[in-house]
Amino acid sequence: MKFQITFSALLYTLLQIQSALANRGYDVLNAVYQKAHPGQNMAANQRYVFVEKYQGGSTDMEQCVAGYTHVAVVVGSVIHTGHDQHFFQGTMYHLTTQGDRIFNYGDPIEIPMVPDWSPRTYRVATVTLYKGTTTAEDSTIKNLRDQYLREHAKYSLRSNNCNSFAEWMTSKIVS
């Protein structure tokens, strides 16, 4: 009987932790959203676009934009699960060189789609920017990603890096 109670308590604690972690993504992005829309919360019937900028990293030798070593686009929507529980279900898109090695001019690029975004998907973002809403579905964004890959196949620190991809993608999808 004691084991059953202990197991139940452990399971309850794990579910609480899972809920808190899921809520954290919403909390982080909603705080960014509220800077642009004071007093408002993100709504469940919208798709949101954010850009995350990162500093430092063990393999990041160059800066793709002043002060930052990586930039990614996050697109998704809010899921309300009841009792003031929310989570942000999103996908991160970011440009990297194939094999995720040190970037060299002319290297082939890839743009991975990372489903199930969370605030620590890549690493903790230094800056998160709210870019707007979008009506673009995941399939449309995937098609745009494929178009970018066809048109910009080789890496260049000055003209085809993670920041230039993020700017291009947000210009295509933000309403």
Average pLDDT, whole number, for the chain? 79
Q: Name the band, by pLDDT with cuts 50, 70 and 90, for residue 20.
A: very low
pTM of the entire structure? 0.80
Helix-strand-coil split of the chain, %, nearest 5: 35, 30, 35
Give the model's pLDDT for residue 8: 64
Residue 73 pLDDT greater than 90, yes or no: yes
Q: Which two tokens stand for residue 174?
A: 């933000």
What is the distance between the alpha carbons of residues 169 and 148, in angstroms, rounded to a whole number? 9
pLDDT for 58 beyond 60: no
User: Which domains does the chain show, CATH number per domain?
Assistant: 2-173 (3.90.1720)
Q: In the chain, pLDDT over 90 holds for what percent of residues? A: 35
Rounded mean pLDDT, 12-35: 69
Quote the CA–CA distance of 129 and 51 in Å, as a whole number.
5
On the question of pLDDT at 134 being above 90, the answer is yes
Determine the average pLDDT of the residues in 28-46: 92
Using alpha carbons, select from 72, 67, 62, 69 the residue that is nearest to residue 103: 62
Contact status, residue 55 vs residue 154, Cβ threshold 8 Å: no
Measured distance between the N- and C-terminal CA atoms of the chain, rounded to whole angstroms? 57
